[in-house]
Amino acid sequence: MTTLARKLRVVDYFTLGWGTMVGVGWLVVMDDWLLRGGVLGGVLGFAIGGALLLPIGYVYGQLVMAMPDAAGEVAYTAKVFPQPVSFATGWMMILAYFIVCPWEAVAIGRIAGYIFPALDSIELYRVAGRPVYVPHLVIGLGLTGLITLLNYRGIRLSAIFQNWTAFGTLALFAMFVGIGVTRGSTTNFPPLFTHSPFVSVLLVMQVVPYFMTGYESVGKAAEEASPEFRGRGFFQAIWMAIVVGILFYTIVIAAVGYVAPWQQLTGEKFMTAVAFERAMGSRWIVSVILAAALLSLFKVFNGNFVAASRLLFAMGRRGLVDSRVAYVHPRNQTPSFAVLCMGLATAASMFLGDAILVPITEVGSVASAAGWLATCAAYYHMGPPARERLVALVGMMVGLLMILMKVVPEVPGHFSGYEWLALGIWILIGLGLGWRERSSISSA
C-alpha cells in the first residue's frame, strides 16, 4: 500500500497551523468585528477568545505526539467513544476546514474587484440580494484549480507554497502596520465598545473559533513528517500558531482603530485598507495591504485544503465514508481522490457568491468548537495525570461555551435561520454518507 510522503519539518507545521488560521477576515469583515464590539471590545474578544484556546492547544499537542494520525479528532475520539461519536466529530471538523475554502475563493473575487473595479461587472444572478459576477467566479475557480493542483502533485510543493505565503504575509503586515500607525491618534478609538463591555466582548468572541481555527490542522498532516522529525515539534508548532494568531488579530484591530475614525468607515468595502489610506493620504499603502491580503488568502486556502483533504482521506481509510477517498497516488504520494473531491466541492460552493461570507463564519465557529469539545473530552477519558485532566476539563468547558454562545436563542448574536439551514444540510449529508457506507459494508 502506498503511504503518504514524509517531507514536513517544524517550520512547515507552523506555517500550516498559523497559515490555516489567519486568512483575509482582517480585511474583508473588519467592519463586522468593530460593529460587534468596538476597538477595545474587538481586541479583548480576540485576546480572551484566543487565550481560552491555549488549553485546547495543549490537549491537541499531547494527542498529536501520542497519535500522529491524519484522522486527527476521529482517531482521538475513537479511542474512548463509540464510532458514531468519532464519525460526527470528524464530519464537523471537515466542515470547519472545508467551509473556509469557498470563503477564500469568493473573497479573492471581492479583492480583485476592489483593485480593478471593471471586474465588478457581468452579473449572472443574485444570492440574498448580493450579485454574483462572472469575473469573480472565473478568478475564484482559477485559484481553486491552482490549490487543487498543488495538493495533487505533492505535499512538499504545497509546503513550499505555504511557507512563502505565510512569511510574506507577516513581513508585509509588519510593514504596513509599522508605517501606518505613525499617522494615527488615540482620539480615533472611541467608542471603545459598541454595546455594554460584556456584550461587546461576547459578540466578538462568538466568531473567534472560526478565525482561530487552524492550529489543530497540524495533526492532519502528522503522517507526513520527515523521518528525522521529533514529536515535540507538533506541540511547539501548535502553540506558536495560537500565540502568533492572537497577536496578529489584536494588533490589526487596534491599528485600524488607531489610524482613522473607524465609525465613519464601516460602510466601506474594505475598511482596513481605507483606514490606512486615509491616515497616509496615499494609495501605495493600500497596495501593500492588498498584497498581504492576497498572500494570506493563498495560504489559508491552501492550509485548510490540506487539512480537509487529509481528514476526508483518513475517514475513508477507516471506513466511515466511501473508501475510494482513501486512495493514495502511487507517484505523488498524496490522497489524490480526496484532494479532487475537495476541489470540486469548493468550486461548486463558491457559486453561492459573497452572501455566504458572514453565515459561513458563524457555522464554522460552531463546527470547530464541537471538534475541540470532543477532542478534550476524549483526552479526559483517556486518564492522563491529574493536572492534564484539569486542562482537558477546561478545554471541554471552553468548547461547550463557544457552542452555546451561538445556539442558545437568549444569547445576543445567536444563529439565524440561514446558519441553522447550512448546519442542518451538512448534518444531513453526513448522515446520508455514513448510512450509505454502513449499508455497503453490511451487504458485502
DSSP, collapsed to helix, strand or coil, labels residue 125 as: strand
pLDDT at 257: 93
Backbone angles phi, psi at 414, to 5 degrees: -70, 170
pLDDT single digits (tens) 168-219: 999 999 999 998 888 888 999 999 999 999 999 999 988 888 788 889 999 9
pLDDT at 437: 62
Residue with the three cell numbers 475513508? 316
CA 304, CA 291: separation in Å to the nearest integer? 20
pLDDT at 443: 55
pLDDT at 111: 84
Cell, residue 405: 454562545
CA 275, CA 268: separation in Å to the nearest integer? 9
pLDDT at 57: 93
| DSSP 8-state code for residue 5 | P
CA angle 142, 301, 3 (to 5 degrees): 100
DSSP, collapsed to helix, strand or coil, labels residue 129 as: coil
In a domain, 205, yes or no: yes
In a domain, 94, yes or no: yes
* Structural domain containing residue 426: 10-432
Number of domains into which the chain is organized: 1
Q: What is the largest CA-CA distance in the chain?
A: 71
CA 137, CA 142: separation in Å to the nearest integer? 8
CB within 8 A of 30, min separation 6: which ones?
252, 253, 256, 270, 271, 272
In a domain, 238, yes or no: yes
* CATH code for the domain of 370: 1.20.1740.10
pLDDT at 168: 95
Cell, residue 103: 470563503
pLDDT at 359: 67
Whole-Å CA distances, 301 to 26, 162, 196: 15, 10, 35
In a domain, 261, yes or no: yes
The DSSP secondary structure of 389-403, one letter per residue, reads HHHHHHHHHHHHHHH
Q: What pTM was estimated for this model as a whole?
A: 0.88
In a domain, 3, yes or no: no
Q: Which residues of the chain have pLDDT under 50?
A: none
CA 420, CA 415: separation in Å to the nearest integer? 6
For residue 191, whether the previous peptide bond is cis, meaning omega lies within 30 degrees of 0, is yes
Cell, residue 14: 507552523
Residue with the three cell numbers 507552523? 14
In a domain, 438, yes or no: no
pLDDT at 201: 94
In a domain, 4, yes or no: no
In a domain, 127, yes or no: yes
